[in-house]
Structure 1
């Protein structure tokens, strides 16, 4: 299934049905009287979240979604049927924004929300009967519904985001530590969509991890896959910054680390005025030195010391392929995730 994480659509609630103007005409009721019923209420537009879908692909083609209008009232004081609601099923973690980017609803942890109310049905002429007006010849029109142009955006809900250059081993790591099965190959941009995995540590602790693809030097200027997937780690409290230290890529591990930090800062600058945005570059990171199975011990220690000296960070040396030291890493991650949740 194609991964779609943002759509622009128009939603509209239903108009209320008009009330009826009607009078009794039975032979046994010579004086008759008004008997016009009320119009039905217009349908609401309701957003409902589901954990069983992970894309907005269902909203890619149709651009307008409207609830039904309420039906007119009838004679014999019969009310018109209410219009059916428009139920919009979206992935958990979706955000509804106005066209200018303002967050209207964040559906994280919310099962259902009514975004637009349908118009009220109009009163029939029976409602307007009084002691001085026994035969009212007017009824209310139905209340107009509402219409809204919105941006529907999906942000994956994950506790931990894995960042790093293509082929640093992000997909291999997430397949190692969870049941997720992303595509893995030895060429850039193997992963073209974010991947989610649930990681279980011990008997009780678990957390959700997301593999974010396509982040490279110059991404904020549109290089590679650009920063189109960075918004998916805006919710995460912790980053695993994966660096390939094997030398097989021909790149400098320290420069890779620095380049990714620069891209996070640039993303922050681009989004600093965005409603509710929390900078990515200021979030806690764990440095993970991957593919250490291809290096001797003394070389691994040398690289760790270089990172410590230049950036002041300690790194976990692992091999996602063999599983070497990954359990120690997971215990540390689980501990940090648990602490962040307790502080919320």
Structure 2
């Protein structure tokens, strides 16, 4: 399945049905009496969040979505049938923007949440509505009104509590596969991960917490360089960030600064998000030439947070890392409840 997280579409609600001119056949009633019915209401375009969807792939090849028009009115004061609403299902976490103004219109986060994106047009009035003392046989009716038409931009932002970030080949995919049942592609070269991966990690309480493995960021990602910019939006909803650093790197401290600068440049509060730092791949480090504790101490001074020394491959240090993640998550949740 292809992972598509952006789409540009046009939605058009249905046109209201026309009112009609009709007359009854009654004795002593001039011209039979007006009996033209109203037109039916046009169908609306409605978005519904569906937790079973994970991508905007359905919008890649289809860009126009139109609801049904209302039926014209009938004789004997019969109202025309209303047009059927068009229901468009999208993944939970889909943000809907006005493509012309870039204004956020709606953010569909919870399963089953609905949003009317385009309202159907009203049906036109039949000639029965224009009966008056001065006009006993009106011979005109109103046409139905057009439905709303909009150009929308859809953006999917994954719903995860913990976002795993870091430079390419820092071991993010290996970590999420070690902690959860997720099985992302893993290889010994940069940019192995081309799409965000989600994994559910069980807490000691038994509840599941969603972790998101974000494709590797590089210097300049916030300006559109590499893959990072396209996927930075997926950590906007996360409560905390897990910054993974390759302990075998030639300059661990510089690697840390690169990611921090990209978070600041992207904005949207990512740089201020609670962060946990972990030195990964210690199983591949030459302990005689690399001072892991010294690197951890330097990172601790920079991040002002505990730094964990781990190996996603051997699972060394993962228990202590998870305990810290649960602790920070509980703190964040407590603050949000207040």
TM-score above 0.5: yes
Please say if residues 47 and 89 of structure 2, whose CA atoms lie closer than 8 Å, have aligned partners that are also in contact. yes
Deviations 1:125-163 (A, max 9, x none): 122223443222121221221111111111111111100
- How far did 1:340 drift? 1.5
- How far did 1:27 drift? 8.5
Structure 2 CA distance, aligned partners of 1:125 and 1:309? 80
Q: Closer, same or farther in 2 for the Cα pair 1:117/1:192, shift >3 Å? A: same
Partner in structure 1 of residue 315 of structure 2: 323
- How far did 1:65 drift? 1.1
Partner in structure 1 of residue 103 of structure 2: 102
Structure 1 CA distance, aligned partners of 2:168 and 2:320? 24
Please say if residues 201 and 331 of structure 1, whose CA atoms lie closer than 8 Å, have aligned partners that are also in contact. no
Please say if residues 214 and 227 of structure 1, whose CA atoms lie closer than 8 Å, have aligned partners that are also in contact. no
Task: Kindly report the root-mean-square deviation, in angstroms, between the aligned alpha carbons of the 2 structures.
Answer: 2.1
Partner in structure 2 of residue 81 of structure 1: 81
Range that drifts further, 176-185 or 104-113: 104-113
Map residues 248-287 of structure 1 onto 2, 5 A cutoff. Answer: 250-268=249-267, 278-287=268-277
Partner in structure 2 of residue 127 of structure 1: 129
Between the two proteins, the alignment pairs up a number of residues equal to 332
TM score, norm. by length of structure 1:
0.90
Deviations 1:175-219 (A, max 9, x none): 111121111111111110011111111133432111110311232
Q: Which stretches in structure 2 are left out of the alignment for 5+ residues? A: none
Structure 1 CA distance, aligned partners of 2:185 and 2:303? 32
State whether structure 2 residue 6 is matched by structure 1 residue 6: yes
Q: Closer, same or farther in 2 for the Cα pair 1:242/1:116, shift >3 Å? A: same
Structure 2 CA distance, aligned partners of 1:307 and 1:31? 91
Partner in structure 1 of residue 32 of structure 2: 32
Q: Closer, same or farther in 2 for the Cα pair 1:28/1:136, shift >3 Å? A: closer
- How far did 1:18 drift? 0.9
- How far did 1:302 drift? 2.4
* Secondary structure in 2 matching 1:265: helix
Q: Which stretches in structure 1 are left out of the alignment for 5+ residues? A: 269-277
Q: Closer, same or farther in 2 for the Cα pair 1:299/1:18, shift >3 Å? A: same
Deviations 1:40-85 (A, max 9, x none): 0001110001011111110111222111111110112221111111
Partner in structure 2 of residue 225 of structure 1: 227
